[in-house]
Structure 1
Amino acid sequence: MRLTESEDFSVYNGEGTVLRRAQMRMLDILIEFDTICRKHNISYWIDYGTLLGAVRHGGFIPWDDDLDVSILREDYQKLYTILETELPTDFVCQDWRNEQKLTMKCLKIRDTKSYYAEPNVQKGDLKHQGIFMDVFPIERIPTVKIRRFISNIYGKSFRHKRRLTNSNAKYVQALMLWPFSVCLGQCSRFMAYILKSKRVANIYGGLNFQCTHSVNDLFPLKEISFEGKLFYAPANYDQYLRDIYKDYMQIPPVDKRAVHATEIIFLEDEKNSKV
């Protein structure tokens, strides 16, 4: 089914629903993030379902409960340092270096006034578990085949080394493979530089290998409307989205419209209920 005016998507995120409130909280994070990035000349772009929502719905996908942006790998540490000092106290930075149980290499900007329950994450596993926005570091890759090969080794050793499974054998194997994995990642970046590669993908240890994009489809970034505000997006967002979703304008059937959270709680609601 393609997007039509006849379907009423408000059944998912109508005004006043928990999901719509969560989406507006995520939008607050994105607005603050955008302000900081523009101030410090850091390039970012909305990505994945957020970009899809902007193009297909003019904002959030109605049933979506997360928000995604991407930045270049070389900007990551600079951005992280700036966010730690300039984010409002309502938001905190979180990544694989300060949260042992995060499953991939990306930055999460969390809201401190909510609780976002996720599958396979117990309450208390993370220092902060509020509504969040993901920031994915992106880097150039040498070739798709090399990327796929290294990603498989690096991703598994990264996750098993962090004891994200209960297998002692996989943990020991990961410890043995880790130096080799790191070396492979560094060699890959060097090869991409030497080859002057025009393809980019998530850094090793980030999202499981999905797709790559052409630098020419990504830059120069352009502005796109999302929930009535302008944010940065890939230059050729049509091809960029086709790389990920193929026929991205096709609306999935109802049984495929999944949300990520198992529960979303606003702490101010709990506080008010106790007054």
Structure 2
Amino acid sequence: MILKDFIKICEENDLTYYMYAGSLLGAIRHNGFIPWDDDLDVIMFRDDFERFKKIFIASNNDKYELLCNETNEDYFHLLAKLMLKGTKFEEPWVSQVDFHIGINMDIFVLDDLAEEGFKRNYQLKKSFWYNKLMIMSKIKLDNLPIVTKVITHAGYHILNLFRINPSTLNRKCLNFLKKYKNPNATHVFDISATAEEYPQIFRKEDFKSVTRVKFEDIEVNAPINYDYILKSLYGDYMQLPPEEDRYNHITETLDFGPYK
């Protein structure tokens, strides 16, 4: 339902989206949800995403809430969540923040990336740290190795001592990314998907157009070169993982509200 309503908004406003990550994998390998998965992922180019935010916020939607830093300054992710009002899908850290998480769909963003060399490395490293610092400024993660836990807790206290919050870091990050906006960029990256050291990088040409694929009972947009993208994310993506690697989110509270 959330996906269908999101697509309706995009189609009415000439916005382009693509299925992404596990949802793209599910569409290609399972023609819908991965059987053990519990979320939805889409991705948009920065310009479309910024337009979507403005359109949605101005609409005063009575069914959904858009969780992003513009709507809640304590929100600490660089992706957005389209959440179903009256529901809960809360992870263990929710007690540390003043916002709730409803059953939702993640909206990731593609930003232009500098060409190979010093500028690209600098852009990736700085983006990586903006992402980590936003999280560190708001929550203390306890399920980490002891050294990492001590470092992140120290970072949390230092950032809060100097009143550096997710909103401040989000503004700085977006201003930083604007410096690299380039219609002729050959590569783009998902700033919020950090894989050990760097965010996920893609060729821009792989998103130059869409192809329609089946997802449950509807057709959805996939990047034209979804095969290359899925291979870069998952390797031999048509091969099912072993059962011990089939997992979903750790949920503290799940409430379907009026949708039970």
TM range, normalised to the smaller chain? 0.7 to 0.9
Deviation at 1:268, TM superposition (A): 3.5
Q: In structure 2, the residue corresponding to 1:64 is in which secondary structure?
A: coil
Q: TM-score, normalised by structure 2?
A: 0.79
The answer for the alignment partner of 1:154 in structure 2 is 130
Q: Could you list the per-position Cα deviations for residues 148-190 of structure 1 after superposition, in whole angstroms to 9, with x for gaps in the alignment?
A: 3222332233334x433453224457849x9899768645543
Give the unaligned 5+ runs of structure 2: 141-152
Does residue 199 (structure 1) correspond to residue 187 (structure 2)? The answer is yes
Identical pairs, percent: 26
Q: Could you list the per-position Cα deviations for residues 82-120 of structure 1 after superposition, in whole angstroms to 9, with x for gaps in the alignment?
A: 223447522211112333443311221111232212132
The CA RMSD measured in Å over matched residues stands at 3.0
> Between Structure 1 and Structure 2, which shows a larger proportion of strand residues?
2
> Could you say if the C-alpha distance between residues 164 and 268 of structure 1 is closer, same or farther in structure 2, counting changes exceeding 3 Å?
same
Q: In structure 2, the residue corresponding to 1:110 is in which secondary structure?
A: strand
Amino acid corresponding to residue 200 of structure 1 in structure 2:
V
Does the 8 Å contact 1:49/1:68 carry over to 2? Answer: yes
Does the 8 Å contact 1:140/1:201 carry over to 2? Answer: yes
Does the 8 Å contact 1:45/1:232 carry over to 2? Answer: yes
Q: TM-score, normalised by structure 1?
A: 0.75
Amino acid corresponding to residue 247 of structure 2 in structure 1:
A
Q: In structure 2, the residue corresponding to 1:136 is in which secondary structure?
A: strand
Q: Could you list the per-position Cα deviations for residues 120-144 of structure 1 after superposition, in whole angstroms to 9, with x for gaps in the alignment?
A: 223x945442200011121111045
| Alignment partners' CA distance in 2, 1:103 and 1:180 | 9
The answer for the alignment partner of 1:163 in structure 2 is 138
Q: In structure 2, the residue corresponding to 1:168 is in which secondary structure?
A: helix
Does the 8 Å contact 2:133/2:169 carry over to 1? Answer: no
Does the 8 Å contact 1:104/1:207 carry over to 2? Answer: no
Amino acid corresponding to residue 187 of structure 2 in structure 1:
R
| Alignment partners' CA distance in 1, 2:122 and 2:138 | 26
Matches within 5 A, 1:62-141: 62-86=35-59, 89-122=62-95, 125-141=97-113
The answer for the alignment partner of 1:228 in structure 2 is 217
| Alignment partners' CA distance in 2, 1:181 and 1:69 | 20
2:255 pairs with 245, 249, 265, which one?
Answer: 265
Q: Could you list the per-position Cα deviations for residues 188-226 of structure 1 after superposition, in whole angstroms to 9, with x for gaps in the alignment?
A: 5434528x32111124xx332442111111111121111
> Could you say if the C-alpha distance between residues 182 and 95 of structure 1 is closer, same or farther in structure 2, counting changes exceeding 3 Å?
closer
The answer for the alignment partner of 1:29 in structure 2 is 2
Amino acid corresponding to residue 131 of structure 2 in structure 1:
G
* Bigger-Rg structure (1/2): 1
> Could you say if the C-alpha distance between residues 112 and 183 of structure 1 is closer, same or farther in structure 2, counting changes exceeding 3 Å?
closer
Q: In structure 2, the residue corresponding to 1:97 is in which secondary structure?
A: coil
Give the unaligned 5+ runs of structure 1: 1-27, 271-275
The answer for the alignment partner of 2:121 in structure 1 is 145
> Could you say if the C-alpha distance between residues 268 and 261 of structure 1 is closer, same or farther in structure 2, counting changes exceeding 3 Å?
farther
